[in-house]
Amino acid sequence: MEGHPHTDDARAHVQRGARLHVNGDLAAACREYQAAIDIDASSAVAWNNLGFARAQQGELDEAIRLYEHALEIDPARSMAHANLGLAHLARGETMAALDGLRRAVQLDPRNTLALGNLGRLLLAIGQIDAAERTFRAALDVEPRSAQLRVALGTVLAARRRFKDAEAEIRRALDDEPDHAAGWSQLGAILFLNHDLGSACEALRRALALTPEDCSTRHHLVLALLARGQRVAAEQELTRILGFEPGHRAALVDLAVLALARADGATALALLDRVEDEDARVRFYRALAFDACGWPR
């Protein structure tokens, strides 16, 4: 039996919208999804996809309205529940986000996108056991996913099972050697396990792939300082400020290294660039005044 012409037209608009969406033309994608809805208002796919595009445009309230409408049409649509959960998460509504992601997984236990996001949210709120179970369930479905295996390694590291965490991440990197986040996480785990040389090597592998990742570069700084390599650490801190001039931790760490050289003037200049002084910054500022021989 041939499809209904109106339904076929709506499907064609959704397909064109999806291609535009993947290519990053959100405005044009939204027009195509809306055209599909105008032809066939019962298209849950069009409502869901339009919601996803609106969420990417930062219109979270509108996205939630669109997802909810999609679910009125098709309550069993797993991805609409997952997208609704992520929109709530973006608004800081943790419990609503959990509800949406859990419902998505209940409806489709093979929805690895929902499982991965649910695992990350569970980890973020401290439900470590549930996060581990969730990531393992996702890997049962998609065992070659480096992203999911790195996430499992992160959970194991949070449980201080560093050797198991390292094994999972190295397995991920065997499958995907250019996974920058995997190298970065491996470096952090090796640092926590006091394998400083290997930590530096892994972090440098990550930075070769993503040189502007200031978080990874700062982890490298900590590893270098733990090895007593102050000059190399200072060079990395300076690189961080080249990418992000207001990077608080880099400014403070450079000030501390300047104080270690009794260079109070340089320390003060760096601390002056720190926004929102706290007790730690004020303490270092006092030490810098003393190093300069100036009254506080």
Calpha distance 171→62 (Å, rounded): 41
- One-letter amino acid of 204: R
* pTM for the structure as a whole: 0.84
Helix (H, G, I), strand (E, B) or coil at 282: helix
- One-letter amino acid of 26: L
Calpha distance 251→109 (Å, rounded): 46
Percent of the chain residues topping a pLDDT of 90? 93
Domain ranges of the chain: 246-296
Q: What is the pLDDT of residues 116-134, one digit of tens each?
A: 999 999 999 999 999 999 9
CB 80 within 8 A of CB 67: yes
* Mean pLDDT score across all residues of the chain: 94
pLDDT at 36: 94
Does residue 287 have a pLDDT over 70?
Answer: yes
CB 162 within 8 A of CB 189: yes
pLDDT at 55: 96
Does residue 296 have a pLDDT over 80?
Answer: no
- One-letter amino acid of 67: Y
DSSP-derived secondary structure letter, 276: S
pLDDT (mean) for 46-66: 96
Calpha distance 186→165 (Å, rounded): 8
pLDDT at 3: 44
